[in-house]
Amino acid sequence: MYDIVSVIIFNTIGGIIMSQSNLEKQEAKLKQLNQKIKAEKNKIEQNLGKQIIRSANLDYGTLTTPQIKMIAKKVAAFLNQAQNNR
């Protein structure tokens, strides 16, 4: 038969294992949520880029990296100025 110390140790270890299991589940949920957030950010960035290109009637085929960076800086400057004027 088990003595009280053995029962306490067993219950404590069982509780630690359950807590660790719950923590691992929460970590997995958090990782999954972070992946969803990252995917949504990428989706928004892509949609924003597409809308800017369409609105400005730019040609995908002729856009260079320096041009893209210049356009991004101009859009950012415009948005920052608009925010400061509020």
Q: Over the stretch 76-86, which tens digit does the pLDDT of each residue have? A: 999 999 888 87
Same domain, 11 and 34: yes
DSSP state, residue 48: H
Residue 79: predicted pLDDT: 92
Give the count of beta carbons closer than 10 Å to the beta carbon of residue 75. Answer: 14
Same domain, 2 and 40: yes
Same domain, 84 and 44: no
Range of the domain at 39: 1-55
Closest by CA to 45, choosing from 81, 75, 77, 83, is 75
Q: Residue 48 pLDDT > 80, yes or no?
A: yes
